[in-house]
Amino acid sequence: MKNKVELLLPAGNIEKLDYAINYGADAIYMGMVDFSLRSMRKGEIITENNLKKAVELAHSYGKKVYMTLNIYAYDEDIKKLYENIDIIRDASPDALIVSDFGILQVLKKELPNIDIHISTQTNTLNSEAVKFWRDFGASRVILARELSITQISQIRQNVPDIELEVFVHGAQCVSLSGRCLLSDYMTHGERKANHGGCSQPCRWKYKLLEETRPGEYYEIEETARGTHILSTKDLALINYIPRLIEAGVDSLKIEGRTKSLYYVSAVAKAYRKAIDSYYNGEKIDEKEMFDQLLKIGNRGYTTGFYLDEQDHEGYSYDVSKGLAGSDFLFEFWDKAEKNGANIYKVKIKNKVLLNDNIEIITPSECFETTIKKIYDKDFETKDVGNTNDEIWVELSTEPEKYKYALARTIGIKNVR
């Protein structure tokens, strides 16, 4: 019997690794500074000093870890890789995600016992390319986002003896499987897209200039703000999970190593439910599932190339920044008792007021509650909790388990 499809979540830092797993990930992928296509700035960033700690944390839950080494490397990067080989070997991740032939050559020689996953950056679009990677020794190929589900199914039929992974949710790149040079040129080489430093010029605003009329800029769309002609909407295949599983996909991948802890947790929860519902033979409410994703930061959603006809509305012309349908309010840190009631220490992400009605999500729950009392660190009562405050709150309805609980506003706004 074929194994249950894997839900693969990003871990930009150790905190997000922990939350991703508790919200439903079967495996996580993470980079290490200098070798990843996403550069993290917040939290306990994964470096050579804590790589082993991160892998051991995931393994303690019985989950797998895939390490991204998917930059396109220069000689100095290969030299640095050799300097870190012993650290990677000692950490013992379950697989290494690779796109560069030079890095692949080093890993095959130095780390022959660790599985190789071929990155989507290799633009693998056909069965013969998948066979090539299989024969080269790879255990998995991460297919290009430009394939349809029908084409993926055909590849599975043609190459049944290798794992296939596909992206199902998150930001997309304007270039074929992300191989873009816009950032390199527009930052004069300071922010190299295929070296972990993309400045995302596909999200910038543009106007049109006719070369014989210098200084006369034309709006591409009738708006005073210009338009984001290169900015794709985010991918969301929550309602196509059955089709992907039946097409023979082994792993469903969520994008977002630089996204928030709330993003990773909420997306994991939604896709975990969709996958489990399929295997349990349960019919899901597609609107309710999609509404859960609307509460998370997005640029509008698209199915990209995955359906047999491309989604021609897949570009977000009006806005490039991801806007969430619900505001992330706070995360739970601790629990205590005051005046005979449970109170929770929380870290505020967006301002909350006394008597606010809010929504709590945990790995197993989703419910509405009211903030009955707010206390500062000295347990003095307050009427407000401001961004970045560490406060205590009393709730009208409490989570069964507060660890990993998150709070957000009720309802959906910013629908595009």
pLDDT of residue 297: 84
Indicate if 259 and 160 belong to the same structural domain: yes
**Which residues, other chains included, contact 45 with Cβ-Cβ below 8 Å and sequence gap of 6+?**
12, 13, 33
189 lies in some domain: yes
Indicate if 189 and 163 belong to the same structural domain: no
pLDDT tens digit sequence for 229-280: 566 788 999 999 999 999 999 999 999 877 889 999 999 999 999 999 999 9
Indicate if 250 and 389 belong to the same structural domain: no
Output the pTM of the full model. 0.86
317 lies in some domain: no
Indicate if 159 and 114 belong to the same structural domain: yes
157 lies in some domain: yes
Indicate if 91 and 159 belong to the same structural domain: yes
Q: In the listed set 185, 218, 251, which residue is the last one of a domain according to the structure?
A: 218
Q: In the listed set 302, 320, 343, which residue is the last one of a domain according to the structure?
A: 302
Indicate if 127 and 259 belong to the same structural domain: yes
pLDDT of residue 117: 98
Indicate if 81 and 200 belong to the same structural domain: no
pLDDT of residue 304: 86
- Between the alpha carbon of residue 88 and those of residues 45, 57, 241, 248, 302, the distances in Å are 16, 15, 33, 31, 37
307 lies in some domain: no
227 lies in some domain: no
**Which residues, other chains included, contact 100 with Cβ-Cβ below 8 Å and sequence gap of 6+?**
70, 71, 72, 73
Residue 332's CATH number: 2.40.30.10
Q: Helix, strand, coil % (nearest 5) of the chain?
A: 30, 25, 45
Indicate if 49 and 78 belong to the same structural domain: yes
pLDDT of residue 223: 53
- Between the alpha carbon of residue 128 and those of residues 96, 164, 206, the distances in Å are 22, 14, 39
Which residue range(s) make up the domain with 182?
Answer: 177-218
Residue 278's CATH number: 3.20.20.70
pLDDT of residue 271: 97
361 lies in some domain: yes
pLDDT tens digit sequence for 99-109: 999 999 999 99
Q: DSSP assignment, residue 274?
A: H
319 lies in some domain: no
370 lies in some domain: yes
Indicate if 246 and 349 belong to the same structural domain: no
Work out how many domains the chain is built from and give that number. Answer: 3
As a whole number of Å, the CA-based R_g of the chain is: 23
pLDDT of residue 222: 44
Mean pLDDT by 10 residues, the chain (416 residues): 89 94 97 62 78 96 96 91 95 96 96 96 95 96 94 98 96 66 68 67 66 66 54 87 97 89 95 96 91 89 82 54 82 96 97 97 97 95 96 97 96 76
HSE, CB side, 13 Å, CA atoms: give it for residue 304: 29
**350-374 per-residue burial string, b: 16 or more CB within 10 A, e: under 16:** bebeeebebbbbbbeeeeebebebb
pLDDT of residue 58: 97
Indicate if 168 and 283 belong to the same structural domain: yes
- HEC string of 283-300 equals CCCHHHHHHHHHCCCECC
Indicate if 41 and 57 belong to the same structural domain: yes
pLDDT of residue 70: 87
Indicate if 154 and 281 belong to the same structural domain: yes
In three-state secondary structure terms, 279 is helix
